[in-house]
Structure 1
Amino acid sequence: MLLKKELGLTFKSLTYWLVILFIGAFLFMQLGSDFVSLKQPEPGRNDYGFTRTTNKEIIQRQTLHTLLQQYNNKRYNTYPFGFLKVVKPSKSDQAAIRDILERATGQSIDELNQVQSRDKITEEGQQINQTAMNEGVPIAKNYSFQSFQKDMAKIEKRIGKGSDFAEDTYLHQTIKEMNYEEAKARFQSILTEDRVSGAFARMSCDYLVIILGLVPVFIAATVVLRDKRAQSQLVISTKRISTFKLYGTRFLATILLLLLPIILFSLMPAVQSVYVAQKYQHTGDLLLFYQYILGWTLPTIVAVVGISFLITTLFNGLVSVIFQVGFWLLSLMVNGRQVVGSVGLNLMPRFNNVGSREIFEHIFSELVINRIFWFALGLICFFISCVIFDLKRKGKVLYGNLR
């Protein structure tokens, strides 16, 4: 009965419906009515897209090409907190980088600059042709990958953290053009291993965790502050119901009311994944789709709601909203340059790509640890908020301070 009452109170609140409308609008803008066009690659085409590569030679060539461009421009791009910060090097920095370029390639800067004329631009005028880049930058015969890594570390130390020459950046962002066989293999992987639904689900989860990393705080703060707004704090404090039962019911109701619209909103890409699979004579899997949805998004919801319960209970105000907005922006910026397979301990694991199962398999164990961490943290914050609220009910704590 208490859970039903809490569900009803939150369900009737204006804040809840504004949040749900915001989630729906965000997902519709990102996913649209036609989520993705999955097309079978045809032989004889010139462009099959790009894929991430771990080929050390390609990594060296592309990174050195980028270094040459930024050396010539005398401007180095860094992203220390997700925002672009252009670093203008000193004369000594330029001299050191010039030495690294010439030693790594076995050619002078003047000779290397001929590479610029061989760069090719695509029809959109934005994407540099990766094949031309790879063919244009030579690698000295005695220059090993270990030497390359040490030199890039020296460059990053000179120009600052978050540059294109950070190991995590060049190892995970180096790409190469796919040929027909590779594109066909990726397509078959989506049909057979992912059953289409898995590939669509990962993309859906990417957008979902972005919005769920923020909006639950508004509902959670409203739920915790409900008694204060209704001026019923003294009545609640004298009730015989246990603090854990009262807070636990509110916590569970908030989780359920956030999860329900997520399940409904994600029905569109879920059904589309089944339709696309049937189009290519395969069978989609709605169960697999929602396994991704629950496993990927639920920990984010629990974490944000738990943290919001704790901060709102402790400070008895909307401090949790300010905190979560700041934390959300920071989490988003940290993953700003790597949106496929970026996990770590970030609140919002990113996978903004349909397919790339090989990347997913590589990060799977890391993703599991990440999701368990945030789920557990959310529960821990909730339990601490119960303790604080119980002390407040007993008059031992006032606005987070011991009396």
Structure 2
Amino acid sequence: MFFKLFMKECSQTAKSLTYWLLVIIMVLFFASQMGQMDMEKAPEKGLEDYGVKPSKDNNIIMSHTLGMLASEYVEGNYATYPIGFIKTVTLSKEEEQRVGEILKETTGLDKEEIEKKMDDFYGTGGFIQSNPTLQPAESLSYERFEEVMQEVDDMLGGGSSYALDSIGDNGSEPKTYEDAVKEYEELVQKDGYTGGYARLFSDYMVIILGILPVFLAVTRELRDRRANMQELIYVRRSSSMTIIASRYLSMVVMILIPVFALSIQPLASCVTYAKTAGISVDYLAFAKYIAGWLLPTVMVVTALGMLLTELTDTALAVLVQGAWWFVSIFMGAKTMDGGRYGWNLIPRHNTILNYSGYQEGFSQLLTNRILYASLAVIAVSVTAWIYSQKRKGRMNIRGKISANRKSQSNA
């Protein structure tokens, strides 16, 4: 019975205009991000630029952070990201004075000297190439630096680049030839070459899969209501869990089919290049990353769409998921280099390199994905319970538990 219902749901989804609109959006998004893909080659020695890498050097972190603070101090505006969205903060006169005192303590420069350094930097077009830096005072310890930067973050209301959990991201330094060679060797020897491209594919596709499935779920759940089919469906002999689970699984599978299809193109490109370069590849890399990286996001977004729609008989899930999606996108903006996945619905790794960062953050990513897959299972179970209550007449179409019939008789 389950398989029969599952196949019927897949067939109905395949006939849905909403589904094909989502597929078209997926294809267009993929083409815009990975349509033209350059194959990573072994780095050449003697190049002027091999890119940049995050720095763990305390002196570099301090100089970049102080340069950033000095620039915002001169401008009088400070950027914060309290919930992912940018918020510009203007401090009071007393707070501005305190920031000036902090800069004096940490750099040894007064306001006029800082303004001159910023004018010199921006006057030479430095902002085009990099952010300003200021050397920390020789007597400044890293512990004291963290203390006063947290004070600045507190004055700004939190969410700034001066918070303790953010200042480590402020420093960067040029990659050396040796760094570039190491990353390439990791890509070829440890990542099976295709692994890096599979992560990049997942990085892009998880963005769109963090929102699209909710439209399919909401449309499917509301379809029976619009067609006045609730009463007919409620008397089916199948259990509520069988009906909801088959419907849910069909949507997840139908969403993943075009994802697997789209992965064929980058996989083929990797295999073609690898053969000419004599590199061994992992042919299953894309399938593994789709299952491990993308599937949990599809699962929880679809489940949330079903749950809220079954509960309210409205499209509320679109608004809720839309808000969650926006926050997740902005939360991931600072972690695009990979290795810092946290609890984000949309984990980012916007590079084919940094395999070592991926390995360091793997346990974190694994916990993240298991959590969302588990939440999806719970949401589907709750949806099935709500559905069963409706079948028994104990819940009306707006999701409220029906009152005791005594109230009706008393009326």
TM surpasses 0.5: yes
Deviation (angstroms), 1:109: 4.1
Q: Does 1:304 align with 2:306?
A: no
Whether the aligned pair in 1 keeps the contact of 2:309 and 2:315 (CA below 8 Å) is yes
Whether the aligned pair in 2 keeps the contact of 1:314 and 1:388 (CA below 8 Å) is yes
Aligned to 1:360: 358
2: distance between equivalents of 1:173 and 1:355? 20
1: distance between equivalents of 2:40 and 2:165? 30
Aligned to 2:405: none
Equivalent position to 2:344, from 338, 343, 346: 346
* Identity among equivalent pairs (%): 32
* CA 56–276 in structure 1, closer or farther in 2 if over 3 Å, else same: farther
Whether the aligned pair in 2 keeps the contact of 1:191 and 1:277 (CA below 8 Å) is no
Aligned to 1:13: 16
Q: Does 1:400 align with 2:399?
A: yes
Where do 5+ consecutive residues of structure 1 fail to align? none
What is the total number of aligned residue pairs between the two structures? 395
Task: Please state whether the residue corresponding to 2:136 is helix, strand or coil.
Answer: coil
Q: Normalising to structure 2: TM-score of the pair?
A: 0.91
Aligned to 2:409: none
Equivalent position to 2:149, from 126, 146, 152: 152
Aligned to 1:319: 316
Residue deviations 1:205-230 (CA, integer Å, cap 9, x gap): 11111101101011111222232233
Task: Please state whether the residue corresponding to 2:361 is helix, strand or coil.
Answer: helix
Whether the aligned pair in 2 keeps the contact of 1:10 and 1:16 (CA below 8 Å) is yes
Aligned to 2:43: 41
* CA 40–217 in structure 1, closer or farther in 2 if over 3 Å, else same: same
2: distance between equivalents of 1:277 and 1:149? 46
Task: Please state whether the residue corresponding to 1:138 is helix, strand or coil.
Answer: coil
Amino acid at match of 2:399: G
Equivalent position to 1:330, from 322, 327, 331: 327
1: distance between equivalents of 2:153 and 2:40? 39
Deviates more, 1:13-22 or 1:89-98: 89-98
Residue deviations 1:305-325 (CA, integer Å, cap 9, x gap): 111111010011212122212
Task: Please state whether the residue corresponding to 1:283 is helix, strand or coil.
Answer: coil
* CA 199–348 in structure 1, closer or farther in 2 if over 3 Å, else same: same
Task: Please state whether the residue corresponding to 2:318 is helix, strand or coil.
Answer: helix
Q: Normalising to structure 1: TM-score of the pair?
A: 0.93
Where do 5+ consecutive residues of structure 2 fail to align? 403-411
Deviation (angstroms), 1:27: 0.9
Aligned to 1:84: 86
Whether the aligned pair in 2 keeps the contact of 1:82 and 1:337 (CA below 8 Å) is no
Q: Does 1:62 align with 2:64?
A: yes
2: distance between equivalents of 1:72 and 1:173? 19
Deviation (angstroms), 1:40: 2.6
RMSD: 1.9
Q: Does 1:97 align with 2:99?
A: yes
Amino acid at match of 2:80: T
1: distance between equivalents of 2:192 and 2:172? 25
Whether the aligned pair in 2 keeps the contact of 1:196 and 1:276 (CA below 8 Å) is no
1: distance between equivalents of 2:74 and 2:66? 12
Residue deviations 1:41-68 (CA, integer Å, cap 9, x gap): 2222211111112111111111011111
Aligned to 1:180: 177
Equivalent position to 2:211, from 201, 214, 217: 214
Equivalent residues in 2 for 1:158-307, closer than 5 Å = 158-307=155-304
Task: Please state whether the residue corresponding to 1:77 is helix, strand or coil.
Answer: strand
Amino acid at match of 1:46: E
Deviation (angstroms), 1:348: 0.6
